[in-house]
Amino acid sequence: MLVVVLVAELMNALDGSVVYTALPSIQHDTGASGAAVQWIHAAYALTFALGLITGGQLGDLYGRKRLFLLGTGVFTAASLVCGLAGTPALLIPARVVQGGAAAVMVPQVLATLHVSFDEGSRAKAFSLYGTIMSLGSVAGPVLGGVLTSADVFGLGWRPIFLINVPIGVATVLLGLRYLPESRDLAARRLDLTGTVLAGLGLLLVAYPLTVGGAHQWPAWSFVMMAGGTLILTVFVVQQRARTVRGRDPLVVMALFKSRSFTAGLSAQLVFGLLSGVFFLAWTLFLQDGLGFSPRQAATGFVAASVGEMAGAWLAMSLAVRHGRRGSAHAAGRPRPRHDRSSLGRHDTAPGRPRPRRVRVRALQHLDPARHRAGHGIDRRGVLRALPGRQPWHHRHRRVHRNPPVRHRRAAGDVGPHALAAQAPRHA
């Protein structure tokens, strides 16, 4: 099951970047203009972004396996049309259909991983998902250059799309057998108003950004972007109102109250924008400006691919080993001595063993003969022997609102006899 969904994600990641090194060859073979070349890449990315939210909700409503197989099948058929297209007039619409099919397919991959694995295995599954996504993104330009230069059966650039056909057919057949069906039983009707607002707003922003440069940025391009921004604002208001009324929104706005979520999403947005602009301009510069062949241009992506993969593995290993709390501690912020999050009896965080019963060890720190005289308690030893329990004097303070023992001792109202009397008898 895991292999099936990860192969689907690999196809999506490859098709988002495989055209980079093949664009000059596609332009020469099909006679595409500069704006058409941009649309060959942007048509896929734009429709994928527009349909991603809706595709996820459709899977919740009608079954994730069903939508996954439907999206994969349409994606495979659109890849075949892309490989057979001879003009931009056919290639660009085929890329639109391909991106829309990917928007239906990919959300089911994430949802299936979430519901099919328990909490312990889910992190590993999502780590593999992230690795495959990164691998496809960085290997796509390399694969595109190699396949275009190889000129397999005299097809030129077309194998970059045709290679999806056998992989997609195998994914559908294996998915029919091995994928479990799941759906969100609490999901309600599809938010058609929100879908239209989100799609229209993103389209009005993305379209002028794609073609505005070819037309020297006319006034209508800025008017469209302003209108798109206004529509997206209306979309946010509509989603909040839908949430207040108890209906299912397309986007859960409460997520943006989390600093970590907002920061991570912003970082991903900046990275996606900059990397997309860089790779498109770089491949055109290498081939049209410097005269490199597709194979030579592909070698230029190898170094970037190796660096990105190494950074991804390093980041995942550090996150698993330290986490956010460990990273903050490593950065120099002292950890509190009595961290309440680490004193619970059932603390089962990843990497932290379950506290053991240590009643016998605690008894070693009590001398019965001296205990009767009020001098037999080694409080530090008892606390060391109870790593998974909250110290008894902290419990006493919390229940009875008394100050800590050390402050009462300083005030002269606590002596050794009082400490012995307050010690739990079962310890």
Residue 102 has what pLDDT?
93
The CA distance from 265 to 257, in Å, is 12
Q: Report the SS3 class of residue 377.
A: strand
Beta strand segments in 288-344, E? none
Q: How many CB atoms lie within 10 A of CB 342?
A: 16
The CA distance from 219 to 124, in Å, is 50
Nearest of 152, 144, 59, 142 to residue 106 by alpha carbon: 59
Whether 50 and 207 have beta carbons less than 8 Å apart is answered as: no
Ranges of the chain with pLDDT below 50: 326-427
The CA distance from 31 to 168, in Å, is 29
The CA distance from 333 to 348, in Å, is 24
Q: How many CA atoms lie within 13 A of 30 on its CB side?
A: 27
Nearest of 228, 226, 248 to residue 239 by alpha carbon: 248
Nearest of 46, 88, 98 to residue 276 by alpha carbon: 46
Both structure tokens of 168: 């997609």
Residue 323 has what pLDDT?
63
CATH number of 2-191+248-329, picked from 1.10.3720.10, 3.40.50.360, 3.30.710.10, 1.20.1250.20: 1.20.1250.20
Identify the residue whose tokens are 């996820």: 56
Mention every residue, 6+ apart, whose C-beta is less than 8 A from residue 406: none
**What is the DSSP track for 19-30?**
TTTTHHHHHHHH
Residue 223 has what pLDDT?
95
| Cα Rg of the chain (Å, integer) | 30
Q: Is 157 exposed, middle or buried (0-12, 13-18, 19+ CB in 10 A)?
A: buried
Identify the residue whose tokens are 């929100």: 194
Residue 257 has what pLDDT?
86
Q: How many CB atoms lie within 10 A of CB 59?
A: 28
The CA distance from 16 to 141, in Å, is 9
Helix 119-150 and helix 2-17: axis angle, to 10°? 40
Q: Is 228 exposed, middle or buried (0-12, 13-18, 19+ CB in 10 A)?
A: buried
Whether 359 and 426 have beta carbons less than 8 Å apart is answered as: yes
Residue 379 has what pLDDT?
40
Domain ranges of the chain: 2-191+248-329, 340-422
Q: Is 409 exposed, middle or buried (0-12, 13-18, 19+ CB in 10 A)?
A: middle
Q: pLDDT (tens digit, 9 = 90+) per residue, 405-427?
A: 444 444 444 444 444 444 444 43
The CA distance from 76 to 91, in Å, is 14
Residue 187 has what pLDDT?
67
